[in-house]
Structure 1
Amino acid sequence: MSTPTRFTDPHAVDVWDASFRWRSGDLLRDRTIDATWQRVAGALAAGAGAHADRWRQRYIEVFSRWQLLPDERLLRHAGTGRAPTALPEPQACLNLGAFVLAPHSAAARFDHAGFAGVAGLSVRLLDDAVRLCEGERAAAPELSIGVMGLADALAALGLDYRGREAQLAAAAIARTLAFAALESALELGQERGPGANGVAGALAAYWRDRALPRELAGPLLQHRRYRRLTRISAQPCLALLANNASIGLAAQRARAGRNRLALSADAALAAQGALAAAMQPWIDAPVEIARGDCEDRLCSYCL
């Protein structure tokens, strides 16, 4: 049984109610955020046969802990009978702040093992999403598994957003994401078969200059399900839903009593660029630099 989801920011409640809460005419179908999680997770796991309940519970668990946020299109439509007939480049976003153990203490550390487990799960989630929307034999050659809340995580770890240690931490997170997503992708390729034409060998190109274990090299060259796995882009609506998490790799902003970093806009952008450069070798698509942040109000992206 999953722990009920905890909202800690009023803006998160607003964006859920305005953008993701299921209403059918005058009937309120999602009475709580946990009902939204159950709706989405149930729809995604429905094709897993005898294992459907296992995956449904796992999806609900990571949603309710704010560790993983699925594609906005899924939050709005999965389980409502109005799922999109196509889901190009499906997205999932891992909230890095949710993986810091003993935050803001001398014992603070990033939970790489837990993060890897959820990163791997995100591949299955997006594969399930494409099959839900496009049919049992569909596959998505390009997934966009990314992160948000980097500034939150660095602050919880006691690291200076501008410092070398922050860059090393960001690179280690990107490496964990890359390996976890790859291993899950290879497993799903064996379990569910190849995807679209033209995928063979495409994923291997991203790993040419990465430290790939020999035991994965052969399966990767044979892989034919995905062309790309990871892409870090700004997801302001999902960040706002996740209790006002910092967006993508961007610096924290002053919200709900949160302390603003004492940085000029140019300095913050330069620091974000350095973090992006540290992560880029492990990310399949160019890392996006967020040049703005949501205001301290209901997110305009969600309206």
Structure 2
Amino acid sequence: MQRSPFLDMVAVEAWDAWFRWRDQGLIRDLSIGDTWFRVTRSLSSAEPPATRSAWERQLFDACADWRLLLDERILADAGTSRLGWPHDGLGAVLNPAVFVRSPFTAEASFRYEAFEATAELAVRALDNASLLVGQGRPGIHLRVGIIGLADALLQLGQAYDSEQGRRIAQNIAGSLARGCLRESLRLAHERGAGLALAEAPQQRRRLDQLSAALPVHAGSAGLRHACLTAIEPQPRLALLANNVADAVDPLLARGEVQTILDGDTVRTICSPGYALTVAGRLHARHAAHRLGTELAGMSRSAQYALRNAMQGWIDEPIRYAWADPATDETIKAVAMHAGSA
């Protein structure tokens, strides 16, 4: 029997409510695989014929592995009779939670190279989406961000409110910026630049910082995108990605009970979230114990410090609302997971 690609029932309900294609009352996406197929097939149509098939496979695998989640408007409409997204301001999120090798062990590590390659893929996918709506002009703003950071930190054995946790978050932000900038420069050569490097001083400084990791001719043709990265709430995509923490929020900032609204339908599901679900499957009881201690002391200052560590690599200010501290009920629920893991 084929194993379900979903790890959490919250994700199943989120997909069915918001991203599953229905046409005149008929269900067209019979599985999440059908959703990924119609999205990736649609976006790959903007690729040159010689590389189209290989690129489509890359994008499909990144989506199916929950490494990359594209703008929810693209997920809902790509490959249908609707193209309900604008040419500018499109977003996507990378999910650090699934880039941890050997989670909850002493050998746990983060796959930075794979993360960076996925950032490149995200930029190209969004550029293709812009081309599909007939206004793929260079100089557009993209908003590539992150979900599931706190899930990654727990799997790596690092506290959210710690120097090492903030250092990892900063490194992940740098990897995101590097991958996005590299692909934007590549697309400027392939498809045309939107602005000269001198018109984007922030990107120019970043290019200087990353020069060792980028081609020597980088920036000579200018930049295709005026803005690349932004970290902002993506609650629907976080739930779809097997209920990871939204953006760079602490774990369980929304509690254990998730409510999914779909028109007149209200779906309520209880879930501990991605990291604790993985910990339970791996019998990593220590992770739930440690998280319970962390949640009890989580503060706004911890969130500020982590955002501040990442901000230097992110184009847009990270200014979305602070997550509330975990409630006593949530902390007690984590303690129960620790006892049953």
Matched, 1:160 2:191: no
Deviation per residue, 1:75-120 (Å, 9 max, x gap): 1101001012623201010001010000111100000011011011
* CA apart distance, 1:201: 3.1
SS at match of 2:312: helix
**Structure 1 pair 190–204 and aligned structure 2 pair: CA distance change class (3 A):** farther
Amino acid at match of 1:205: Q
Q: Which of the two has higher C-alpha Rg?
A: 2
Q: Distance in 2 between matches of 1:193 and 1:5?
A: 42
Q: CA deviation at 1:200?
A: 5.0
User: Residue in 2 aligned with 1:86?
Assistant: 86
Q: TM-score, normalised on structure 1?
A: 0.88
Find 2:318's aligned residue among 287, 294, 299.
Answer: 287
TM-score of the pair, normalised by structure 2 = 0.78
- Does residue 1:212 correspond to 2:210, yes or no? yes
Partner of 2:76: 76
AA aligned to 1:208 is: R
Q: Is the 8 A contact 1:90 1:126 kept in 2?
A: yes
Q: Which amino acid aligns with 1:53?
A: S
Q: Distance in 1 between matches of 2:128 and 2:21?
A: 21
Query: What is residue 170 of structure 2 aligned with on the other side?
Result: 171
* Maintained 8 Å contact 2:184/2:223: no
Q: Is the 8 A contact 1:102 1:109 kept in 2?
A: yes
Give secondary structure in 2 for the equivalent of 1:143. Answer: strand
Task: Verify: 1:22 aligned to 2:53, yes or no.
Answer: no
Q: Could you report, residue by residue, the CA deviation over 1:149-205 in whole angstroms, capped at 9, with x for unpaired residues?
A: 11000000000110000011011111111111111111111011123xx56534442
Change in 2 beyond 3 A, CA 1:265/1:73 = farther
Instruction: State yes or no: 1:9 paired with 2:8.
Output: yes
Q: Cα distance 1:105–1:38, how it changes in 2: closer, same or farther (>3 A)?
A: same
Contact 1:280–1:286, Cα closer than 8 Å, also in 2 = yes
CA contact (8 A) 1:204 1:221 kept: no
Equivalent residue number for residue 301 of structure 1: none
Which residue identity is paired with 2:137?
A
Secondary structure of 2:184 counterpart: helix
C-alpha change, 1:85 and 1:283, in structure 2 (3 Å) is closer
CA deviation map 1:242-280 (0-9, x unaligned): 000111111001532445644569843221111110011
SS at match of 2:243: coil
Q: Which runs of 5+ in 1 are unaligned?
A: 296-303
RMSD between superposed Cα atoms in Å: 2.6
Question: C-alpha offsets along residues 39-61 of structure 1, whole Å, 9 cap, x if unaligned?
Answer: 00000001213222111111110
3-state secondary structure, aligned to 2:47: helix
My pick for the range that moved more, 114-123 or 263-272, is 263-272
Question: Relative to 1, partners in 2 of residues 1:12 and 1:161: Cα closer, same or farther, differing over 3 Å?
Answer: same
Within 5 A, what are the aligned runs for 1:49-198?
A: 49-50=48-49, 51-84=51-84, 86-135=86-135, 137-139=136-138, 141-195=140-194
Indicate the SS of the match to 1:282.
coil
Per-residue CA deviations over 1:187-229 (Å, capped at 9, x if unaligned) read: 111011123xx56534442342662327657632641411111
Distance change (3 Å), C-alpha of 1:288 and 1:265: farther
Question: How many Å separate the matches in 2 of 1:87 and 1:98?
Answer: 29
Q: Secondary structure at the residue paired with 2:249?
A: coil
- The residue identity in structure 2 corresponding to 1:234 is P
- How many Å separate the matches in 1 of 2:133 and 2:293? 45
| Counterpart contact for 1:69–1:92, Cα < 8 Å | yes
User: What is the rounded CA distance, in whole Å, between the counterparts of 1:29 and 1:119 in structure 2?
Assistant: 29
Distance of 1:208 and 1:200 partners within structure 2: 10
Q: Map 1:216-227 to 2 at 5 A.
A: 219-220=218-219, 222-227=221-226
Identical residues among aligned pairs (%): 35
Relative to 1, partners in 2 of residues 1:32 and 1:169: Cα closer, same or farther, differing over 3 Å? same
What is the SS of the residue equivalent to 2:236? helix
- Partners of 2:178 and 2:31 lie apart in 1 by 35
Separation in 2, partners of 1:158, 1:265 = 17
